[in-house]
Amino acid sequence: MNYHIMTLFPEMMEKCLGESIIGRALRAGLISVDIVNIRDHADPGRKGRVDDYPFGGGAGMVMQAGPIDRAYQSIRAGLDHDPRVIYLTPQGRVFDQPMARELAAEEDLVFLCGHYEGVDERIIEKIVTDNVSIGDYVLTGGELPALVMIDAISRMVPGVLSNAESGEEESFSDGLLEYPQYTRPADYQGMKVPDILLSGDHAKVAAWRREQSLLRTRERRPDLLK
Ligand code: SAM
């Protein structure tokens, strides 16, 4: 999986992606990240500025099409196919686990992180294949949404999670929320771990977990049971 990220804040992306499980996957070569600074493709004479006033008036600035187009062409020149290009936008389809699984099968994914009032609509029409939102709220930029997506997608790339970290039983893997988890000590300030988890009876533990998953999903996310 090769991620290509078009952003105005490359350092923010570098810092976050170098840590923890994603950092380990990068060092192991299971995923790669190519960060393209859109400012490097600014119009000549604009000294790295890539935004301008919105036609028709209104508050805020809009990212210009040209610098994004050139940033994208610099990525496309290194590939032998047209990749999926994801524009992070509150106006997109809401990201979820099935989408993470589907995108993990791609060889290359390009992310376009917007800022200010967003990007010129014409560049969306020209290069974007998927408009994706991470939820019904508005953030200042597309960097955090891209990081959220890269984290969730990378977990689905074979080898990124070790067996011990396996995501097979996690929330959403079977359409339900995960059962409650406990670790030592068995008695924490008088709060005891359910006896069944200490019984050593694997079938009973599995049945209890399944029941807890269903109860928890019904209580917290009844929409998932539909
Ligand atoms: N004016 C835009 C609108 O109303 O749809 C919002 C622009 S927002 C302030 C700036 C940038 O943040 C967007 O271009 C997008 O890249 C990113 N962004 C904000 N909220 C997001 C969300 N919920 N999901 C994905 N990206 C988001």
pLDDT in tens, 24-46: 999 999 999 999 999 999 999 99
How many domains does the chain contain in total? Answer: 2
Residue 166 lies in a domain: no
Do 17 and 122 meet the contact criterion of CB atoms below 8 Å apart?
no
What residues contact 63, with CB distance under 8 A and at least 6 apart?
38, 50, 51, 114, 115, 116, 118, 119, 120
Tell me: do 56 and 147 sit in the same domain. Answer: yes
Which residues have C-beta atoms less than 6 Å from ligand 1? 88-91, 113-115, 117-118, 133-135, 137-142, 145
Measured from the Cα of 60, ligand 1's closest atom is 1
Q: Is residue 102 part of a domain?
A: yes
Residue 95 and residue 185 in one domain: no
Name the residue range of residue 193's domain.
171-226
Q: Are strands 108-112 and 84-94 parallel, antiparallel or unpaired?
A: parallel
User: Distances in Å between the alpha carbon of 6 and those of 96, 106, 151?
Assistant: 22, 18, 17
> Which CATH number characterizes residue 204's domain?
1.10.1270.20
Residues 73-110: tens digit of each pLDDT: 999 999 999 999 999 999 999 999 999 999 999 999 99
